[in-house]
Structure formats: C-alpha cells, structure tokens
C-alpha cells in the first residue's frame, strides 16, 4: 500500500486503524481526484494535511477513543485541544501575557455588537470607525445600535478602492476605540500596517487576513477574526483582547455578550464549538510545523498575490484591478473583465479547469480570487496560467 498522507496517519495511530486501511486509501484516492482549486471567500480552502487529520479524528481521537464530535467540552482531551490552540496562537503571533485569547461563537457579526457593548464606558461614550468597504460599514451600522459611532474616514467616494493616508486620519482622542477592518473581503483592499491612533485602543476586524503575517499585537486593544477564512471552519471566532479593557465590561450585559465572563471562564462558559476549535488547533499546528511560522507564510502570500497582480497589470487593460496598487489585498484579488459576458465566460471556463468559486461578490461584480494561507502555490499558478490564456483568446 502506498504511504500517502492519510495512510501514514492511520499507521501512526495503531492496529485499530489498520483494518480500515483499504477503505481509507479508497477514500483518499477519491478525495485527491475530486479536489478542485477552490477560491471561495469563506468558508474557504483548508490545508490538505489538516483535512486528512480531521478525517481520521471523525472516527476516534487517539486519546479519547471517541470522535472529536462526541466528546465533552469539559473533557481532559478537549481541554488539551483548547489549550494547544491557544498556545499555538500565542506562539505564532507572539501574544503578550497581558492579552487574553477567547474562542467565541456568533461569528464576526456578533463582534460588531460585542465590541461597542463592552468597550464603551462613562467618559468614552463614542467610538471612531474607518469605512473602507462593505464589512467595516456593516460593523459601523451595527455598532450604532449601542452608541454614538463617528466616521473617522470614509472611502465611499472612491468606491472603496483605496485606504486613508496617515494625514487624512483625524482620530477623536476621547474615542473609546477606533475600529477598522484590516482586509475588506469583498472589495479586496487591505492595510499593510496598522493605522496610527495614538493612545486610543485600536480594534481590528481581521476576519479575512488573520494569521497571514506576524502582527505587533501590543499595538492593538482588540482583534477579532471568524475562523472560516484563514484559520479553520465556520463556528468559532477568535478574540484577542488586552486585559485592562476587560474592566470596561459591565455586569448588566447578557452573560454571553460579556468578554470578562468569557475570560474568567477560559472560553468555557457554555458549550464551546469543539470541532471548530479542534480544526483551528490543527491549522495552527500546520502553520508552525509545516509552514514554519508567519514570516514564511507572509512571504508565500506575497509571492502568490504578486503572480495574479502581475497578470492584471500586464493585460493592457483586459483585466482591471479594483483596489489601487498600494491597498491591494494579498488575500482577495478583485478584478474586472471588459464585459459581463466575458466575466461569465471566465467563471464557467475556469470551473471546467477545476478553478472554482471565482465569481465576484454581487455588490462589486467581476472576479474575486480568494487566495488565503491554505491555497497552494500550484493553485495560484494554475489560475495565473488560465488568466493569461483567457486573455490571449478573448482580447480584441
Ligand atoms: N468581517 C469580515 C471582514 C468578513 O469577511 C466577514 C465574513 N465574510 C465578516 C466580518 C462576518 O463574519 P461572520 O459571517 O462570521 O459573522
């Protein structure tokens, strides 16, 4: 029998699995031949070795002798998984001790509400928002239900193609925090560095670029990211929060919406999303052990994105990028073709080549190639080659 990743994993886990090896190798063959390069914006591609481990644990975790789906969130095995997920994140991002790491449910959308509910306080009853695309606008709109949210910058005039220059940022020094979205998943604009906000706590929605590169965590008050783009499946949202800000969470908040209670309970106030956290642990293992950390991940992300932007720039206007060059996202490459007809043709011919989920968001149109951490270099190369061929065949 070939020692492919799945059979190797099965072998590692002893005799119980050997009986299933024949079945597993069939499964594996089916999986390998059926996997397309999936450019979905999220839930999105996961690393193949992670999926193989998940497949194994669907039957039984080696330490629990039961599936990851069947064990208690208070079991020793799950508590070890939770601790390992947190330790991995702390190592990858060098998270200082004065920050807590929480694993919550409700997606990033719930954070749009939890952030203002927890961080506004007497003397800081308003917060500043940078509007750089659809997601930061959603966050701002939702936050207004909790208080007075000032727009510190709005890119609507330019149809969210660029980011604020440092001189354009006028942060209210009394703001409870400044919220921004590090990567706009729909518009494909991304901050390369944190906006300068002085002493005002910086709050970041990092949903679609979490773990794409190292971050200076000490510059942030709070970072949140749903897992289903760069760090796992749907179902868990990671929140990294500076401990002194926990004092702002009022006792009269509903318990689930109170960061301080989650911190006190170590993310186990209620039944944690066990499976999703387990996958985050595997993805962070993969980043540490197979990729070799976030510097290396960043270099790979830069070279993947460059491949596509170079084709766009060399296409004589056949492809037009949405974002201006200095705000281009390394995660979501958004571009247009000369007509709606050609866009449809592009998506359908790409699909025939097993390059899937390339249609742009309905509000922006065109094409969006989401090339998160787990998108293999070979997938981006295949898309690049397809783009070059498609242009040669269709440019007038
Ligand atoms: N913020 C950003 C930047 C996103 O891309 C998304 C999801 N596409 C969200 C927030 C909302 O996340 P969720 O669906 O987990 O609530």
Domain-located, residue 30: no
**CB contact at 8 A, 119 and 251:** no
Domain-located, residue 159: yes
Taking the centre of ligand 1 as the mean of its atom positions, its distance from the CA of residue 142, in whole angstroms, is 13
| Parallel, antiparallel or unpaired: strands 126-131 and 148-154 | parallel
Structure tokens at 74: 């208070």
Q: Which atom of ligand 1 is nearest to the CA of 183?
A: 3
Q: Confidence class of residue 34 from pLDDT cuts 50, 70 and 90?
A: confident
Domain-located, residue 23: no
Give per-residue pLDDT as tens, 298-329: 999 999 999 999 999 999 999 999 999 999 99
Q: How many CB atoms lie within 10 A of CB 230?
A: 28
Q: Is the pLDDT of residue 4 over 90?
A: no
What range does the domain containing 233 cover?
76-288
Q: Confidence class of residue 342 from pLDDT cuts 50, 70 and 90?
A: very high
Tell me what pLDDT residue 31 has: 57
Q: Confidence class of residue 1 from pLDDT cuts 50, 70 and 90?
A: very low
* 209 touches ligand 1 (CB under 6 Å): no
- Among protein residues, the one with the nearest Cα to ligand 1's atom 10 is 108
Tell me what pLDDT residue 240 has: 98
d(CA 162, CA 189): 7
Give per-residue pLDDT as tens, 127-162: 999 999 999 999 999 999 999 899 999 999 989 999
- Probe target for ligand 1 pocket from 42, 103, 107, 108, with the most ligand atoms within 8 Å of CB: 108
Domain-located, residue 48: no
Taking the centre of ligand 1 as the mean of its atom positions, its distance from the CA of residue 216, in whole angstroms, is 22
Domain-located, residue 28: no
Give per-residue pLDDT as tens, 162-200: 999 988 998 999 999 999 999 999 999 999 999 999 999
Is residue 279 domain-shared with residue 298, that is, in the same domain?
no
User: Mean of the pLDDT values across residues 31-42?
Assistant: 86
Q: What is the mean pLDDT of the chain?
A: 93
Count Cβ atoms within 10 A of the Cβ of residue 393 and give its class: 0-12 exposed, 13-18 middle, 19 or more buried: exposed
Q: Is the pLDDT of residue 203 over 50?
A: yes
Is residue 321 domain-shared with residue 276, that is, in the same domain?
no
Is residue 133 domain-shared with residue 254, that is, in the same domain?
yes
Number of domains in the chain: 2
- Probe target for ligand 1 pocket from 41, 107, 181, 235, with the most ligand atoms within 8 Å of CB: 107
Of 273, 288, 303, the one marking the end of a domain is: 288
Give per-residue pLDDT as tens, 216-236: 999 999 999 999 999 999 999
Q: Which atom of ligand 1 is nearest to the CA of 186?
A: 5
* 135 touches ligand 1 (CB under 6 Å): yes
Percent of the chain scoring above 90 in pLDDT: 88
d(CA 217, CA 274): 26
Which CATH number belongs to the domain containing residue 385 in this structure? 3.90.1150.10
For residue 366, report the phi and psi dihedrals to the nearest 5 degrees. Answer: 65, -145
Is residue 385 domain-shared with residue 282, that is, in the same domain?
no
Give per-residue pLDDT as tens, 232-289: 999 999 999 999 999 999 999 999 999 999 999 999 999 999 999 999 999 999 999 9
Q: Is the pLDDT of residue 23 over 70?
A: no
* 42 touches ligand 1 (CB under 6 Å): yes
* 132 touches ligand 1 (CB under 6 Å): no
Domain-located, residue 62: no
Is residue 275 domain-shared with residue 365, that is, in the same domain?
no
* 77 touches ligand 1 (CB under 6 Å): no
Strands (E), 326-389: 332-336, 355-356, 367-370
Which CATH number belongs to the domain containing residue 157 in this structure? 3.40.640.10
Of 288, 317, 344, the one marking the end of a domain is: 288
Q: Is the pLDDT of residue 2 over 80?
A: no
d(CA 387, CA 322): 16
Q: Is the pLDDT of residue 6 over 80?
A: no
- Among protein residues, the one with the nearest Cα to ligand 1's atom 14 is 107
**CB contact at 8 A, 241 and 261:** no
Is residue 268 domain-shared with residue 124, that is, in the same domain?
yes
Taking the centre of ligand 1 as the mean of its atom positions, its distance from the CA of residue 188, in whole angstroms, is 13
Give per-residue pLDDT as tens, 368-384: 999 999 999 999 999 99
Is residue 253 domain-shared with residue 127, that is, in the same domain?
yes
Domain-located, residue 36: no
Taking the centre of ligand 1 as the mean of its atom positions, its distance from the CA of residue 394, in whole angstroms, is 35
Q: Which among 244, 280, 284, 283 is positioned nearest to 260, based on CA atoms?
A: 244
Is residue 147 domain-shared with residue 246, that is, in the same domain?
yes
d(CA 66, CA 43): 26
Is residue 272 domain-shared with residue 379, that is, in the same domain?
no
Domain-located, residue 317: yes
Q: Give the residues across from 237 on adjacent strands.
A: 104, 226
Is residue 298 domain-shared with residue 318, that is, in the same domain?
yes
Of 288, 319, 352, the one marking the end of a domain is: 288
Q: Is the pLDDT of residue 70 over 90?
A: yes
Q: Confidence class of residue 62 from pLDDT cuts 50, 70 and 90?
A: confident
Q: Confidence class of residue 8 from pLDDT cuts 50, 70 and 90?
A: low
Taking the centre of ligand 1 as the mean of its atom positions, its distance from the CA of residue 9, in whole angstroms, is 33
* 182 touches ligand 1 (CB under 6 Å): no
d(CA 310, CA 326): 14
Q: Is the pLDDT of residue 18 over 70?
A: no
List residues with catalytic annotation: 135, 205, 229
**CB contact at 8 A, 166 and 216:** no
Is residue 236 domain-shared with residue 115, that is, in the same domain?
yes
Please give the distance of CA 60 from its chain centroid, rounded to a whole number.
28
Q: Confidence class of residue 100 from pLDDT cuts 50, 70 and 90?
A: very high
Q: Confidence class of residue 28 from pLDDT cuts 50, 70 and 90?
A: low
Helix, strand, or coil here: 268? coil
Q: Which atom of ligand 1 is nearest to the CA of 237?
A: 15
Is residue 357 domain-shared with residue 256, that is, in the same domain?
no
């Amino acid at each position: 029998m070939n020692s492919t990743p799945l059979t190797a994993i099965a072998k590692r886990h002893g005799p119980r699995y050997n009986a299933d090896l024949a079945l597993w190798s069939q499964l594996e063959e089916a999986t390998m031949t059926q996997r397309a390069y999936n450019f979905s914006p999220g839930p999105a591609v996961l690393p193949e070795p992670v999926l193989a481990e998940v497949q194994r644990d669907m039957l039984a975790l080696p330490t629990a002798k039961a599936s990851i789906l069947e064990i208690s969130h208070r079991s020793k095995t799950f508590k070890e998984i939770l601790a390992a997920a947190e330790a991995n994140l702390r190592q990858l991002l060098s998270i200082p001790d004065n920050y807590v790491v929480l694993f919550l449910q409700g997606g990033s959308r719930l954070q749009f509400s939890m952030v203002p509910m927890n961080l506004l306080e007497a003397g800081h009853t308003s917060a500043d928002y940078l509007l750089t695309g659809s997601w930061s606008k959603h966050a701002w709109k939702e936050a207004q239900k909790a208080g007075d949210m000032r727009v510190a910058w709005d890119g609507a005039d330019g149809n969210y193609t660029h980011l604020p220059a440092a001189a354009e940022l006028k942060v209210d020094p009394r703001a409870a925090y400044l919220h921004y979205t590090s990567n706009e998943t729909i518009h494909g604009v991304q901050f390369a560095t944190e906006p300068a906000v002085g002493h005002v706590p910086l709050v970041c929605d990092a949903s679609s670029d979490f773990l794409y590169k190292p971050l200076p965590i000490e510059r942030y008050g709070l970072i949140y990211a749903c897992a289903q783009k760069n760090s796992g499946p749907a179902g868990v949202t990671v929140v990294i929060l500076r401990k002194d800000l926990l004092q702002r969470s009022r006792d009269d908040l509903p318990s689930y919406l109170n960061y301080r209670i989650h911190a006190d309970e170590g993310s186990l106030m209620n039944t944690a999303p066990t499976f999703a956290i387990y996958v985050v642990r595997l993805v962070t293992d993969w980043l540490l052990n197979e990729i070799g950390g976030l510097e290396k991940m960043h270099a790979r992300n830069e070279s993947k994105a460059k491949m596509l932007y170079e084709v766009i720039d060399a296409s004589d206007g056949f492809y037009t990028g949405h974002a201006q060059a200095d705000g281009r996202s390394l995660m979501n490459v958004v571009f247009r073709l000369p007509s709606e007809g050609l866009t449809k043709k592009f998506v359908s011919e790409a699909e025939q080549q097993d390059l899937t989920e390339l249609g742009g968001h309905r509000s922006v149109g065109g094409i969006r190639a989401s090339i998160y951490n787990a998108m293999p270099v070979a997938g981006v190369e295949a898309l690049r080659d397809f783009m070059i061929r498609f242009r040669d065949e269709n440019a007038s």
